[in-house]
Amino acid sequence: MSSGNIRLFMWVSSILCLICGSYGFVPQDHYLIDCGSPINTSVGDRVFVADTSDSNALSTPQEIFAKTTLKPVSLSNDSALYETARILNGPSIYTFPIKKLGRHWVRLYFFPFVFQSYDLSTAKFSVSAQNITLFKDFHVGNGSQVKEYSLNVTSSNLVLTFTPSSKSFAFINALEVLSLPDELTPESARTINDPPGSYQSVSNKALETIARVNMGDETVFPQNDTLWRLWISDDMYLLHNNLAEFVSNITAVNSTIARAMVNIAPAIVYGTATKLMNSGEDPNINANVTWRFSVDPGFEYLVRFHFCDIVSISPNNLFFNVYINSMLVSRNLDLSHLTSNIIGAPYFMDVITRVNDISKLNVSVGPSNVGNPSPNAILNGLEVMKISTSKGSLDVLDSDLKKGSKMKVGVIVGLAVGIFTAVIVAISLFVVCRRRRRRKYAHVNHSKAEENFATSGMVTKYSNNGAAIFSSSKTGYRFPFVAIQEATDYFSESLVVGVGGFGKVYKGILRDETKVAVKRGVSYSRQGFAEFQTEIEMLSMFRHRHLVSLIGYCDEQNEMIIIYEYMENGTLKNHLYDSDLPSLSWPQRLEICIGSARGLHYLHTGSTKAIIHRDVKSANILLDEKFMAKVADFGLSKTGPEIDKTHVSTAVKGSFGYLDPEYLTRQQLTEKSDVYSFGVVMLEVLCGRPVIDPSLPTEKVSLVEWAMNSLKRGKLEEIVDPCLAGQIKPDSLRKFGEIADKCLAGCGMDRPSMGDVLWNLECALQLQGSEEKPDPQGQSLPVNHVNNLETNASIAQFSMGSVGDLAGISMSTVFAQMVKEDPR
Ligand SMILES: *[C@@H]1O[C@H](CO)[C@@H](O)[C@H](O)[C@H]1NC(C)=O
Ligand SMILES: *[C@@H]1O[C@H](CO)[C@@H](O)[C@H](O)[C@H]1NC(C)=O
Ligand SMILES: *[C@@H]1O[C@H](CO)[C@@H](O)[C@H](O)[C@H]1NC(C)=O
Ligand SMILES: *[C@@H]1O[C@H](CO)[C@@H](O)[C@H](O)[C@H]1NC(C)=O
Ligand SMILES: *[C@@H]1O[C@H](CO)[C@@H](O)[C@H](O)[C@H]1NC(C)=O
Ligand SMILES: *[C@@H]1O[C@H](CO)[C@@H](O)[C@H](O)[C@H]1NC(C)=O
Ligand SMILES: *[C@@H]1O[C@H](CO)[C@@H](O)[C@H](O)[C@H]1NC(C)=O
Ligand SMILES: *[C@@H]1O[C@H](CO)[C@@H](O)[C@H](O)[C@H]1NC(C)=O
Ligand SMILES: *[C@@H]1O[C@H](CO)[C@@H](O)[C@H](O)[C@H]1NC(C)=O
Ligand SMILES: *[C@@H]1O[C@H](CO)[C@@H](O)[C@H](O)[C@H]1NC(C)=O
């Protein structure tokens, strides 16, 4: 061969290499199926083949091909894939012959739509691959989504199993199985939890992609990635993005190295970055850039950082620190050192971290203290992958496997979601329902029901599994599901007395003729299993006349049912506005406030651990047949700060309009948060209007703002519910206003305790005089005509701590600075 030929050969082969390198990863195993579709569908340069019964699928006979005309909004330009789906009515198996052992991606495409009698968004099912649980009893949320799993396939077939949950079905819109280049997945990585620095193997673990992000506020689409990955812009994950600056310079990336690493991440990922805001003028700038991801606590995560110095002109200029959840990942990271002084060389780094307790993973980069003139920090790309547990699950923690049922821990818990949930939950718990016909089922034979219960395999199975859920509650509380079906006439719609985000509330009648309220949680409701459990634990722990009593619960068959005593008169809210019920008199309203204050006071002080209700509102105060108030809904309750040190990091929960502004801003939960919410309820009681009423003029939309304004101007009479006109004695009104004002103090320390509130409410009732007092039912103190309140022993009994803290405070008291309770 002449030298010219050699040169030509080298030239040709380098061109070939170039082509292979830039566009040409050809996976040995590459299955693309457009499920339920009779035709092949092109997405970019790939063809998803029509779904024929013999195409890899060994499926059930009850499969159905579904079709929709809806097209979801999809970043990946793959919306055609979502127009069809295969519905699976029984356990179904897809088998893919594998040519190359090792890492494969399984991508599952979902888009729930309605087809004939199937509403795909109600489908609940599990998917496993080999011996790995990918997800369990899962509901696909609204909108399209792609779930991506990385599995180390060690046998010649990859088997995917779809299992519908009981009485449900499974579905899938499209499927993708793809063998991966060996260099993509590490066999082990450094851990930053204890012992820090040790290495942990992931070669047998499955990984689920939680986030794949391109920094620099630019999305990279699958058609620009050799492995058809979607790199989402980091903007939505950035906290405080005023500290961040987006940079882009693709030409600064060393293309030789980038080409070699193209399967790790495309050059355009490395060519954009988010860096710390240019601090040229202020060298003392001291801040981190932080991205925040929602994760499931208890799992380990593999975090891959992609770096490329596209900002420096010379080496050894950029030093920075890297953190995950405030734990140090790298101190004084010097990219030029790691890349042999080649500026613009892509570099990646893997780290494993365990996320405990919290459902957030923070990734931060920040300046180091090594002597560089202008501190800076940079990140180009990031991937977060969940690692399967030692028992092979990506959905259920090993410690939860013992339990009979599980709820997906809220994946997206944030302020916004918390408030959104709260708005939904705020839909009233009960709608008063007076003329309900008695049901015939009351005399269903007892032993027959017991027998059904015992012989139904399904029920027995679940009841055995579920027995361990509530170790702390008394077993007597546990009801068989059949007994509840019986009491509610198989959850008859005609017995529904309330609907909320959690599900429905039914009126029921037990065999012994006890009327009960049956709250049946939808298993996928946001309120979820944790709240179900909390509520039962709280209720079984406490018995008080002013707390709604727990009669029982049922957790069979993944049900989340709580049975309460029936409250004839529904919610306080219903009696205040937006209903045609007769208006409550002022003394009645005071009694109700006193009753609920007493319930809360008991919660706060009744046991060694203070219990914080966290969702005090008029919709959670229920009235019995004699209008005695009872506090309900303990789903969000928590033990107080002195016991529970984690209170600071708790996601903000509660109801919009009632949230303590201090809790919102500092996330510090104390009993005083309940006091604030109670103050809002007092204003509702006084004014007879909703907390937020967008139909009113701006200055009146927020009840708190509007009422506090009038209070400040000493014009309390202006805001009183017109139904109460002329009923309230000025002294009683003044006292009531004072208490509400104190409760609503911006700073928790300035608010009275519930005991003080109670004492002062008693005063307000005294000041009103007893002649109009309704039947006290022995709930309130005997009202004697004693003017000197301090000598009234039965009142003094409730003045905990600072007796008369509020007494004698004049209207001119400086009002604590009000923080707008509207969280934005
Ligand atoms: C779909 O594509 C495959 C190969 O890619 C081909 O064998 C098959 O005939 C095509 N089917 C239809 C319905 O076009
Ligand atoms: C999406 O796909 C269509 C047709 O397949 C193509 O015309 C269009 O350019 C694609 N859009 C993007 C952003 O790739
Ligand atoms: C999902 O969509 C359905 C129908 O459009 C809607 O009723 C439901 O509220 C949506 N759920 C969520 C969580 O957005
Ligand atoms: C897959 O697992 C095998 C054995 O279990 C291991 O030897 C191999 O390194 C793993 N491959 C990867 C890519 O982790
Ligand atoms: C992404 O791919 C499209 C089509 O394949 C191409 O037109 C576009 O220039 C690419 N974008 C980048 C940033 O390379
Ligand atoms: C991009 O990087 C190259 C090489 O480092 C440099 O010459 C060029 O000035 C940079 N462009 C911008 C806009 O910063
Ligand atoms: C890119 O990296 C290679 C080494 O892989 C090096 O030889 C070359 O000089 C680098 N190019 C630039 C522009 O720095
Ligand atoms: C994440 O960062 C935010 C804002 O800095 C902080 O409030 C939160 O506590 C951090 N979470 C963790 C787990 O560090
Ligand atoms: C960046 O975050 C880490 C961990 O939370 C913290 O220790 C450090 O002080 C922060 N740096 C700056 C400049 O805020
Ligand atoms: C799953 O199967 C593979 C190979 O059969 C084995 O190496 C692995 O340990 C198994 N994982 C679990 C969680 O049983």
Check the annotation: does 519 bind a ligand: yes
Is the CB–ligand 9 distance for residue 340 below 6 Å? Answer: no
Residue 770 pLDDT: 59
| Sheet strands (E) in 140-194 | 145-153, 157-164, 170-172, 174-179, 188-191
Cα gap 488→506, rounded to integer Å = 7
Q: Which atom of ligand 7 is nearest to the CA of 340?
A: 4
Q: Are 222 and 228 in contact (CB under 8 A)?
A: yes
CA-CA-CA-CA dihedral for 791, 795, 800, 805, to nearest 10: -70
Q: Are 566 and 507 in contact (CB under 8 A)?
A: yes
Is the CB–ligand 3 distance for residue 142 below 6 Å? Answer: yes
Give the model confidence (pLDDT) of 516-571 as tens digits.
899 888 765 555 777 777 777 777 777 788 888 888 888 877 788 888 889 889 88
Nearest bound ligand to the CA of residue 339: 7
In three-state secondary structure terms, 249 is coil
Give the model confidence (pLDDT) of 308-343 as tens digits.
999 888 888 888 999 999 899 998 888 888 888 888
Residue 280 pLDDT: 56
Structural domains in the chain? 3-7+211-398 (2.60.120.430), 26-179 (2.60.120.430), 572-770 (1.10.510.10)
Residue 407 pLDDT: 37
Q: How many CB atoms lie within 10 A of CB 441?
A: 16
Cα gap 352→350, rounded to integer Å = 7
Is the CB–ligand 8 distance for residue 239 below 6 Å? Answer: yes
Is the CB–ligand 10 distance for residue 204 below 6 Å? Answer: yes
Q: Are strands 232-233 and 207-214 parallel, antiparallel or unpaired?
A: parallel
Return the structure tokens found at 322: 């890297």
Q: Whose CA is nearest to atom 8 of ligand 5?
A: 224
Q: Are 206 and 129 in contact (CB under 8 A)?
A: yes
For residue 639, is pLDDT > 90?
A: no
Give catalytic status of residue 309 as yes or no. Answer: no
Q: Which atom of ligand 2 is nearest to the CA of 80?
A: 5
Residue 254 alpha carbon to ligand 7 centre in Å: 6
Q: Whose CA is nearest to atom 3 of ligand 8?
A: 362
For residue 304, is pLDDT > 90?
A: yes
Contacts of 350 by beta carbon, 8 Å cutoff, 6+ apart: 186, 189, 190, 302, 303, 304, 305
Q: Are 760 and 767 in contact (CB under 8 A)?
A: no
Q: Are strands 188-191 and 347-354 parallel, antiparallel or unpaired?
A: parallel
Return the structure tokens found at 89: 């009515």
Residue 384 alpha carbon to ligand 8 centre in Å: 17
- Mean pLDDT, the chain, whole residue set: 76
Give 688-704 as a DSSP string: -S-SB-TTS-HHHHBHH
Provide the sign of the torsion angle of the four alpha carbons 505, 506, 511, 513, taken in this order: positive
Q: What is the 3-state secondary structure (H, E, C) of 558-624?
A: HCEEEEEECCCCCEHHHHHCCCCCCCCCHHHHHHHHHHHHHHHHHHHHCCCCCEECCCCCHHHEEEC
| pTM score | 0.56
Nearest bound ligand to the CA of residue 133: 10
Q: Which atom of ligand 1 is nearest to the CA of 40?
A: 1
Q: Are 264 and 183 in contact (CB under 8 A)?
A: yes
Nearest bound ligand to the CA of residue 152: 4
Residue type, 133: T
Q: Are 99 and 88 in contact (CB under 8 A)?
A: no
Q: Which atom of ligand 8 is nearest to the CA of 355?
A: 13
Give the model confidence (pLDDT) of 702-747 as tens digits.
899 899 888 888 888 889 999 888 889 998 999 999 999 999 998 8
Q: Whose CA is nearest to atom 3 of ligand 1?
A: 49
- Pocket perturbation via mutation, ligand 1, pick of 49, 53, 54, 56 by most ligand atoms within 8 A of CB: 49
Residue 131 alpha carbon to ligand 10 centre in Å: 6
The fraction of the chain above a pLDDT of 90, given in percent, is 32
Is the CB–ligand 1 distance for residue 397 below 6 Å? Answer: no
- Enter the DSSP assignment of 38: S
In three-state secondary structure terms, 789 is helix
Q: How many CB atoms lie within 10 A of CB 747?
A: 12
Cα gap 221→198, rounded to integer Å = 35
Residue 325 alpha carbon to ligand 8 centre in Å: 7
Q: Whose CA is nearest to atom 3 of ligand 2?
A: 77
Among 76, 75, 130, 68, smallest CA distance to 104 is for 130
Residue 258 alpha carbon to ligand 6 centre in Å: 16
Q: Which atom of ligand 9 is nearest to the CA of 327?
A: 4
Is the CB–ligand 10 distance for residue 401 below 6 Å? Answer: no
Among 235, 271, 90, 245, smallest CA distance to 165 is for 90
pLDDT band at 614, cuts 50/70/90? Answer: confident
Least confident of 82-86, 369-373, 426-430: 426-430
Among 127, 359, 379, 347, smallest CA distance to 231 is for 379
Is the CB–ligand 8 distance for residue 290 below 6 Å? Answer: yes
Is the CB–ligand 7 distance for residue 342 below 6 Å? Answer: yes
Is the CB–ligand 4 distance for residue 103 below 6 Å? Answer: yes
Residue 321 alpha carbon to ligand 9 centre in Å: 9
Residue 85 alpha carbon to ligand 1 centre in Å: 18
Q: Which atom of ligand 3 is nearest to the CA of 141?
A: 13
What's the distance, CA 566 to chain centroid?
A: 30
Least confident of 52-56, 449-453, 719-723: 449-453
- Enter the DSSP assignment of 754: H
Q: What is the mean pLDDT of residues 480-489?
A: 86
Q: Are 818 and 712 in contact (CB under 8 A)?
A: no
Cα gap 267→149, rounded to integer Å = 23
Q: Could you give the angle at which helices 671-687 and 703-712 cross, rounded to 10 degrees?
A: 80
- Per the listing, tokens 């193209």 go with 262
For residue 138, is pLDDT > 80?
A: yes
Return the structure tokens found at 60: 């059930």
For residue 403, is pLDDT > 60?
A: no
CA-CA-CA-CA dihedral for 554, 560, 563, 567, to nearest 10: -170
Q: Pick the catalytic residue from 29, 34, 615, 741.
A: 615
Cα gap 238→647, rounded to integer Å = 24
Beta bridge partners of 500: 503
Q: Whose CA is nearest to atom 11 of ligand 2?
A: 77
